[in-house]
Structure 1
Amino acid sequence: MKLELPENKKLVHEMTTGIRWGDMDAMGHVNNTLYFRYLEMARIDWLTAIGCAPNPLGQGPLIINAFCTFHKQLEFPGDIRVKMYASDPGRTSFESWATIERLDDPGVIYASGGATTVWVDFPAQKSVPMPDWFRQHVT
């Protein structure tokens, strides 16, 4: 399944990181599981920057569905930029999107992905309305 990134999305964060030797697999390219790790790193970096660090004893965002499309192989050595976007805020959820590109190949998308994210009360284990302060970041 291939999902296209929507045109109507808001850039919410950018992060750069290095590709590590250990990120590669036996085929000589970055293992597919690491792309999800790169997306996670950018997501946590963004959430922390806006004052929404993970808090399992409170409320916060929880991914209920995630995907990644691999457009080109990433290889060591190199540095990447992950761009995070948000769209379609609802009462309890929003869509997040991301692109990954190499810093030495700007504008060329190596991977794209996204997630459906729901605002959750973790102790109660149920979705709750997204707070207004957070909604402002994804609208």
Structure 2
Amino acid sequence: MDQLLEAFPVVTEVKVAWGEMDALQHVNNVVYFRYFESARLSYFQKIHLLVDSSQTTIGPVLAETSCKYKLPITYPDTLLIGAKVVDLKKDRFTMEYQIVSQKMGKICTQGQATCVMFDFENKCKVQLPSEIKQGILDLERDYS
């Protein structure tokens, strides 16, 4: 399974909860976006992008997200969620995700999200802080 996630510098493990199942006996479609969020936050921890509102008013907001469902996930299972940045612009970055089921040993889901840097006090887009941009570049370079 390592080869299924070898292109992703951050891999997050999540256990499927019984309550995430829907009436059709597989994980409900909206739950996948929570899985992506968990992976995104793990990535943010690595690049020191978790926002402390007492320290800064600038942080990322989700501008766009998508999900491609390949195989249904069911309880019980443990998922490995890879996250990486695939595009970096002056005020935003785009991430890709890949969810692998340990039970099946296969890729079940792929996704993407674009995050825009936002100044919450002034309510406007801002440029990606240089230390965050460098953190992304370092993490992606060190892993590739």
Same fold (TM over 0.5): yes
CA contact (8 A) 1:13 1:46 kept: yes
Call closer, same or farther: CA 1:12–1:124 in 2, change over 3 Å: farther
Report what 1:86 is aligned to: 85
Between structures 1 and 2, the one with greater helix share? 2
User: What is the total number of aligned residue pairs between the two structures?
Assistant: 129
Cα distance between partner residues in 1 of 2:94 and 2:62: 10
- Equivalent residue number for residue 65 of structure 1: 64
User: 8 Å contact 1:12–1:138 — kept in the other structure?
Assistant: no
* Mapping of residues 1-139 of structure 1, within 5 Å: 11-56=8-53, 58-106=57-105, 108-139=106-137
Matches of 1:64 and 1:134, distance apart in 2: 18
Quote the Cα distance in structure 2 between the aligned partners of 1:76 and 1:88: 34
Q: How many angstroms does 1:138 deviate by?
A: 2.8
In 2 relative to 1, CA 50–138 (structure 1 residues): closer, same or farther, beyond 3 Å? closer
Task: Kindly provide the CA deviation profile for residues 94-115 of structure 1, in whole angstroms up to 9, marking residues without a partner as x.
Answer: 1111000112333x21000011
d(CA) in 2 for partners of 1:21, 1:97: 26
Runs of 5+ in structure 2 lacking a partner?
Answer: 1-6, 138-144
Percent identity, aligned pairs only, is 26
TM-align CA RMSD? 1.6
* Misfit runs of 4+, over 6 Å: none
Task: Give distance in 2, aligned partners of 1:126 and 1:36.
Answer: 25
Structure 1: where are the runs of 5+ without partners? 1-9
